């Protein structure tokens, strides 16, 4: 699924397109929501608990609808404070972006619907693709700095039924750190080492692959046609914008 830098940049795009007062009231909370489904990095809980999506279910799924069905108190912005409203609006962008990526990029090219699903390298190439997409998004340095500043200045978000308050406080710092990371390959080894090991690479080969990340990235991009990636981003941007608009209007 897209990495957090991509989630932040795409959420910024949604905010800029909509310019709705509910988002402008607390952009920091909005960006925090756009990263918060991945808070399981701290909580160590199952992905499904924060993403409302089952990776092993190949049927139609709507993670946004499921979140509101399971947490009806969040479904109507009129009953929420400003920070929570902005946070949930941002949260929707993450769910929609992940869902679109799974259906349009991951499953047909690397996952269950692909020709390379059984190859352990499929997950390696998927992660390399995600890293490079994120790295390219980070090249919008002024935007990412604006996002980081909003996160640092944001007020507290509390009372999310499926995330304890203390984790949300800690996640502000994590998200701001993520927004400030450079658009380079300095984190490539940390992200890829475990996946390369699981694919059967020995230590020497892992070292070699991480020293030349462009080679893995080039191979990953050879799997996904460029027009498919362009269509994915276009569809995802449209879907995120419309789900947030529907929620707030």
Average of per-residue pLDDT across 138-146: 98
Query: Which region among 12-16, 78-82, 91-95 has the lowest average model confidence (pLDDT)?
Result: 78-82
What is the rounded CA–CA span in Å between residue 32 and residue 35? 5
Q: What is the DSSP letter of 103?
A: I
Identify which of 68, 1, 81, 71 has the alpha carbon closest to the alpha carbon of residue 34. Answer: 1
Q: Give the residue from 142, 133, 121 showing the smallest Cα distance to 7.
A: 133
State residue 198's pLDDT score: 87
Question: pLDDT confidence of 241, banded at 50, 70, 90?
Answer: very high
Token pair recorded at residue 14: 């949604």
Q: What integer pLDDT is reported at residue 155 of this predicted model?
A: 81
- Tell me the mean pLDDT in the region 204-208: 90
The dihedral built from the CA positions of residue 179, 184, 190 and 193, taken in this order, carries a sign that is positive
d(CA 171, CA 180): 14
CA atoms within 13 A on the CB side of 218: 5
Contact (CB, 8 A) for 153 and 83: no
* Average pLDDT over all residues of the chain: 96
Rounded Cα distance, 87 and 157, in Å: 7
Segment 163-199, tens digit of pLDDT: 999 999 999 999 999 999 999 999 999 999 988 998 8
Average pLDDT over residues 50-71: 96
Confidence band, pLDDT 50/70/90 cuts, at residue 100: very high
């Amino acid at each position: 699924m897209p990495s957090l830098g991509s989630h932040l940049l795409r959420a910024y795009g949604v905010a800029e397109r909509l310019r709705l007062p509910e988002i402008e009231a607390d952009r920091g909370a909005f960006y925090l929501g756009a990263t918060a489904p991945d808070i399981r990095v701290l909580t160590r809980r199952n992905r499904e608990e924060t993403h409302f999506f089952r990776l092993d279910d190949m049927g139609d799924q709507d993670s946004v609808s499921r979140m509101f069905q399971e947490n009806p108190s969040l479904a109507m912005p009129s009953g929420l404070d400003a920070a929570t409203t902005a946070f949930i609006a941002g949260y929707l962008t993450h769910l929609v972006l992940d869902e679109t990526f799974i259906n349009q990029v991951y499953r047909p090219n690397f996952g269950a619907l692909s020709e390379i699903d059984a190859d352990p390298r499929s997950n390696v190439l998927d992660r390399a693709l995600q890293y490079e997409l994120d790295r390219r998004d980070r090249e919008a340095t002024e935007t990412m700095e604006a996002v980081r500043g909003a996160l640092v200045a944001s007020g507290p978000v509390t009372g999310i039924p499926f995330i304890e308050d203390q984790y949300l406080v800690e996640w502000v710092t994590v998200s701001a750190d993520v927004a400030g990371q450079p658009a380079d390959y300095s984190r490539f080894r940390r992200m890829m080492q475990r996946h390369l090991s699981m694919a059967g690479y020995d230590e020497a080969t892992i070292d070699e692959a991480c020293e030349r990340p462009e080679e893995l990235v080039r191979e990953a991009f050879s799997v996904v046609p460029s027009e498919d990636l362009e269509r994915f981003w276009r569809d995802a941007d449209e879907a995120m914008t419309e789900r947030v608009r529907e929620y707030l209007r």
